[in-house]
Structure 1
Amino acid sequence: MKSNVSRRNFLRQGAIVASGVSVFPESLTILKKGGSLGANDRLRIGIIGCGSRGNRVYMNGIHNHAEAMNAEIVAVCDPWRVSREQTNIKVKEWYGHDAKQFVSYRDLLQMKDLDAVMIASPDHLHTTHLEAAVRAGKHVYVEKPLAMDMDKLIRATDAVKKSGVVVQIGTQLRSLPGINGARELFRQGKIGKLSRVEECRNSPRPYWYGYLRDVKEEDVDWKEFLNDRPVRPFNPDVYSAWYGYYEFSHGPIPNLGAHFIDIVHYVSGAGFPESCVCLGGTFTWKDEHKFTTPDCIQATWTYPEGFLVSSSNNLGNGMGSVRNFYGDKGMIRMSNWNEPFV
């Protein structure tokens, strides 16, 4: 059934619900508002992981709000010398001083005058870095997916609960006005009883190819990168394009799908699924890089609230992406996160 809610009204409602997206992490805003720091104190932040997320997205977000929030980046950490030095160049340009540079997160977390860290390390290190940071009393913004191993996840979340610090995970799409508008209209019953949510993501090639770099062994602390993974000879492909290796990242379902499933929960208000099935493999991209992360994969969840969720990913076809919420009165299309419509 076609909804009588116009696209223009839908987007207007979304804008009312959320006036805009803040790229400065809410967890760090809370520190200033909540009195964790003195009124005149500067928020001193460290970056763990200086790749594209840490060096660009996180640092740019902090810099854009640095004056309003009285914040600055004072330390950077990465096993690759090149990333550390490139990140420090930005710090010096923005703040007029060098950042303290570290190879190991352990050394960075020993800084007494460090208030918070932003974790943008490879997926297999998120829980390790999170647990260590909160045990050191640092507030944290950590990239998704939070974990690859359930035991490590439980240990890290237990440490967070005992720490008293503020932690936020990087599922930021719920800050978008359109997503909040979709949530409001769903809860007003505009599409009726939810029966199914689907995502079909297509792209011409896997995203991990874009991260391949000519990394020299002498510039990397290989053991720091591997952490608890088995020791093996240095491999520049594994180091730079770790997204493409299953031992270090489980691929598009937990990585890209973390946003999708978060929005399913946020819009619908549903809790935990009662079952999940996932199938896939590396079917298309077989070459000298020997990637092992699935390039074609599908997952299906069932929820006790009475609906089905599916996510399929084909990283060998560029036909675009589709995301839909289906109810017995209508549907919400979210192919463009910024412009959903009923």
Structure 2
Amino acid sequence: MKDQSSTPSSASRRAFLSTGSALTGGALLASGASAAPLGKLAGMAHVANNETLRVGLIGCGGRGTGAAANALRADPNVKLVAMGDAFGDMLENSLRSLQGQGDLADKIDVPEERRFVGFDAYKQVIDNVDVVLLATSPHFRPMHVEYAVEKGKHLFIEKPVACDMPGLRRIRAACLRGREKGLTMVSGLCYRYQFAKQETFKRLHDGAIGDITALQCTYNTGSLWHRGRKPEWSEMEYQMRNWLYFTWLSGDHIAEQHIHSLDKVLWAMGDEPPAKVTSSGGRIVRTDEKFGDVYDHFNTVFEWKNGVRAFSSCRQMAGTSFDVSDYAFGTKGTAALQHHRIENADGRWRYRGEGPDDMYQNEHNAMFKAIRSGEPIWNDEYMISSTMMAIVGRMAAYSGQTISWEDAWKSDTDLSPVAYDWVDDVPEVRVKRPGVDKYTFDGGAQ
């Protein structure tokens, strides 16, 4: 089963090796590619169609519940057998939602003894399953991926995969071990699995617009949910229930949401990461204390070694216009990537495929097909690079610095709390100030 994205260029493979050398000495598997059609790995056997695959969900919010439904519809012989969340009410709401979907009822077997709650719930879920869906707030992704790989489980890994560089380096090391074990690792960067996008990007890479000279991506939306505060909640519980608004949990919205746009830019550039990043941003509407320490807008420029620049804008403000779009400009034409259109001297092309094209379902269909066939999918390279683009963009905006890709990878700024418990020992909530909160790259932030 092939990876659903284009095959990375040799340049992107070298960049991936280079950015990881500080952690692993550049010991990426010899293939360097993000898909395992390079052959079955030692010890990786196919799973017979009549063998039930046990699925576990970690993170029972809306995205996790949706992923579980997709997983159960992706294969005729799967069962959801374990669920975990930090909060029992979230788990129970998710389970009721899934049970209420008539076509899924026979595929759900999650008795009370396999409903796990708390910071360590992920271990208990992983210990009971063959395939794990990781959909908590992004901060917890590195520890969850590490444990799942240690236990030899196939993974669906929601985006982004970390909120800081130490976490991203942990993800990379774990994914390298996952490759060695022949585990399927599918990313939640779902546009890579949309057939319309695949055809559009194929034409782009085949030269439909000539050489790319510039890119533009926009993710401007309104306001999102906020769950308020209850007097019985500790500060830790309050922040985790409202995780969108705390950088240590979400990575800020440039990472949690805009990463989809950044991933399309990376894909357009053949999965070669940029050389340096400059950004500005702030909060001019979401200034209330309840919005934690995140910004409400970012404007970022990503620059590649060949001089190509991507101009990125994202915004979350109530009452403003909506725009999710991506464009690639070339020497021979223009591609509207989000809308699957290309214009060049030959005229106008628009994707007009037939049949269903649910990108969320497509990625799970591909994942279970790969597990059954014994030919694992590896989406780790691009999910790490896209996450890093978002993190570097945030760092550049928070600090006002232009930051190189190589320097960013060395950052030791760790956003983790001192301990994972329900007391109020949480990371400091302070909105970063460009020009004041600068980064060093031999010891983190000043």
Shorter-chain TM-score tier: 0.7 to 0.9
Q: Give the structure 2 partner of residue 155 of structure 1.
A: 170
Letter aligned with residue 87 of structure 1: S
Q: Could you report, residue by residue, the CA deviation over 1:263-318 in whole angstroms, capped at 9, with x for unpaired residues?
A: 22323314121111222111211225143211011121111243101211122221
Query: Residues 276 and 108 (structure 1 numbering): CA distance in 2 closer, same or farther, change over 3 Å?
Result: closer
- Opposite residue 78 of structure 2, the aligned amino acid is A
Count of aligned pairs = 292
Match of 2:341, SS? coil
* Match for residue 126 of structure 1 among 141, 146, 151: 141
Q: Which residue of 2 aligns with 1:193?
A: 211
In structure 2, what residue type is equivalent to 1:64? R
1:12 aligned partner = none
Deviations 1:48-71 (A, max 9, x none): 10011112x20220232242xx11
Give the secondary structure class of the aligned counterpart of 2:249. Answer: coil
Contact 1:117 1:139 in 2 (8 A): yes
Which residue does the alignment assign to 2:109? Answer: 97
Which residue of the other structure, out of 113, 118, 123, is the alignment partner of 1:109?
123
| Superposed CA offset, 1:15-63 (max 9, x none) | xx9xxxxxxxx99xx99xx7342442111011010011112x2022023
* Secondary structure of the corresponding residue to residue 247 of structure 2: coil
Structure 1's 107 and 49: CA in aligned 2 closer, same or farther, altered over 3 A?
closer
The one of 50, 64, 71 equivalent to 1:62 is 71
Q: Give a deviation string over 1:180-217, Cα, whole Å, max 9, x none.
A: 22212212322122111111332233x3xx14256674
Q: Deviations over 1:66-102 (max 9, x none)?
A: 42xx111100000111111123335556136334101
Question: In structure 2, which of residues 159, 183, 187 is the aligned counterpart of residue 144 of structure 1?
Answer: 159
Aligned mates of 1:240, 1:104 — CA distance in 2: 13
1:63 to 1:286, Cα distance in 2 relative to 1, 3 A: same
Taking structure 1 as reference, are residues 149 and 308 closer, same or farther at Cα in structure 2, changes over 3 Å only? same
Task: Please state how far the C-alpha of 1:327 moved relative to its aligned partner.
Answer: 1.0
Trace 1:143-222 onto structure 2 (pairs within 5 A).
143-163=158-178, 164=181, 165-205=183-223, 207=224, 210-212=225-227, 217=232
Partner in structure 2 of residue 291 of structure 1? 292
Change (3 A) 1:107 1:201: closer
1:148 maps to amino acid: C
Distance 2:119 2:245 in 1: 24
TM-score of the aligned structures, taking structure 2 as reference length = 0.59
Cα deviation 1:231-277 (Å, max 9, x = unaligned) = xx3453x2322111222222232222322222223233141211112
Aligned residue for 2:95, secondary structure, equals helix
Say whether 1:72 aligns with 2:90: no
Change (3 A) 1:212 1:118: same
Residue in structure 2 matching 1:53, options 50, 63, 87 = 63
Distance 1:36 1:338, change over 3 A: farther
- CA distance, structure 1, for counterparts of residue 152 and residue 226 of structure 2: 33
1:329 and 2:341 are equivalent in the alignment: no
RMSD, matched Cα: 2.8
Q: Which runs of 5+ in 2 are unaligned?
A: 1-5, 7-34, 344-446
Structure 1 residue ranges without an equivalent (≥5): 1-16, 18-25, 223-232
